[in-house]
Amino acid sequence: MNEVNFKNASELSSLLAEKKISARELMQAQLDRIRAVDGKIRAFLSIDEADALAQADAADARRAAGTTLGTLDGVPVAIKDNIAVSGQPCSCASKMLENFVSPYDATVISNLKKSGAVIFGRLNMDEFAMGSSTENSAFAKTANPWNTNCVPGGSSGGSAAAVAAGMTPLALGSDTGGSIRQPASFCGIVGFKPTYGTVSRYGAVAFASSLEQVGPMARSVADVAALYDVLASPCSHDSTALPGERTPTFPQLSAPAKPRKIGLPKEFFGGDSAIDEAVKKAAAWYESQGCEIREISLPSIDLAIPTYYIIATAEASSNLARFDGIRYTHRSARATDAIDIFAKSRGEGFGEEVKRRVLLGTYVLSAGYYDAYYLRAQKIRSLIRSEFEKAFADVDLILAPTTPETAFPQGGKTADPLKMYLGDICTVPANLTGLPAVSLPCGFDASGMPIGLQLIGKALDDGNVLAAAHAFETAHDFSGRIPTIEI
């Protein structure tokens, strides 16, 4: 292990600025680390090493010429395999897109390029971001760096594991129902789902468009904030991206923390007792800093899982209709006519979970069932949103567990999809409501697996959410811990 492997992006940025390390040396150190541990972790689906090193050389040339672009110039950022980078594969960990190479950049990637960051690697994920364990990838199962028999979480399990194992300081994930926060929690890192509409979805392969956001993952809140500030922007290609310039969150981290009212929603507790305890301890710490802690209730949270799985599958059934074997996707060699191409290509190209969701989503949208399921779910979504609005009239921030349990053994839930879905109970509410939410480490359970603390804020209060998380992080040492990977 090279000493730079576990340095945060902010430290790397200073080392680059002081010319104590070059961007090439830094990128090479990450590639060496990947070579050493990724055979065991399997976070990356592929890496274009020559391209990564060429980008690093370009960053070094800018620095030598005095034209450095920003604080992330020369810092590596690895990318979840559902975010388009021009000239790179974008398979969504699906056989359907196994040979697809993106012809364009997602807006978040264009933004990163403008920052000078070195964009490298394709990170494993659940197929089309559907899952909570990265076991639904068509290509590899990613292991949790804290215990390689356990899952890293999902769907951004490759992103979380890569960051936790020191293979990259920064990664992008996407969060439709918790896919940034839950794997961040399972792997002991920081992951942030921004307010809906602050980050462009253009070039992020759509699963459930009304729920998802691309977001940053890193080993510190400050790094997550710095990366978010690069990602967030208006976007003329995404009609759901909010107009207007974004207020940078990074400068807000060092603003003096004001005493705030923090709500603990009772419906989020009652899972693993070690998690409840760690989160309540975090609440007590905020109280010791002058915050007022209130127990609050969000009574419709028990409907969040069915509501999410109706809306998400309905949107997925529509979004995934484009993968038909006719255009750029897998085409069955056994097909004879057009209908046969659709059926056989989709049958061969999609994995079991994706098919389950397309079927479920088609069902809830079908005439006769639309009112009973889809429309009802939309009404409950509004109800949940209004309960959060009411809660936020009284409190500034909501504090809760990220997950009801820590990382579970591989294979532990694959036979029972419902059991897998129920684990999303603490994360889906922020997607149904569009609210910003961060997960950061707040302890470890008896078997040494990381525990995540979730902070949920008001819409567009991203800076305050990250500032509150940063205050907790700097007063504790949970984020600095490094897993030992036996190779």
Please report, as ranges, the residues that interact with ligand GLN according to CB under 6 A. Answer: 129-132, 155, 175-179, 207, 312, 424
Least distance in angstroms from the C-beta of 173 to ligand GLN: 9
**CB closer to ligand GLN, 179 vs 464:** 179
Which helix (DSSP H) or strand (DSSP E) does residue 175 occupy?
A: strand 170-175
Q: How far apart are CA 62 and CA 136, in angstroms?
A: 41
- CB atoms inside a 10 Å sphere around CB 383: 14
Q: How far apart are CA 119 and CA 134, in angstroms?
A: 22
Least distance in angstroms from the C-beta of 456 to ligand GLN: 15
Which helix (DSSP H) or strand (DSSP E) does residue 361 occupy?
A: helix 352-365
Least distance in angstroms from the C-beta of 125 to ligand GLN: 8
Least distance in angstroms from the C-beta of 207 to ligand GLN: 6
Torsion of CA 132, 135, 140, 145, to 10 degrees: 60
**CB closer to ligand GLN, 238 vs 396:** 238
**CB closer to ligand GLN, 185 vs 345:** 185
Q: Is 155 helix (H, G, I), strand (E, B) or coil?
A: coil
Block residue for tokens 């790397």: 12
Cβ-proximal residue to ligand GLN, closest one: 179
Q: Is 149 helix (H, G, I), strand (E, B) or coil?
A: coil
**CB closer to ligand GLN, 154 vs 463:** 154
- For strands 397-401 and 437-444, give the pairing: unpaired
Quick check: 169 and 75 in contact, CB under 8 A? yes
Least distance in angstroms from the C-beta of 255 to ligand GLN: 30
Q: How far is CA 227 from CA 84, 190, 383, 474, in A?
A: 17, 12, 33, 18
Q: In the 8-state DSSP scheme, what is residue 370?
A: I
**CB closer to ligand GLN, 296 vs 365:** 365
Least distance in angstroms from the C-beta of 265 to ligand GLN: 20
**CB closer to ligand GLN, 35 vs 322:** 322
Q: How far is CA 248 from CA 177, 251, 467, 486, in A?
A: 25, 7, 12, 40
- First vs last Cα of the chain: how many Å apart? 12
| Catalytic residue annotation | 80, 155, 179
Helices 462-475 and 221-231 meet at what angle, rounded to 10? Answer: 160
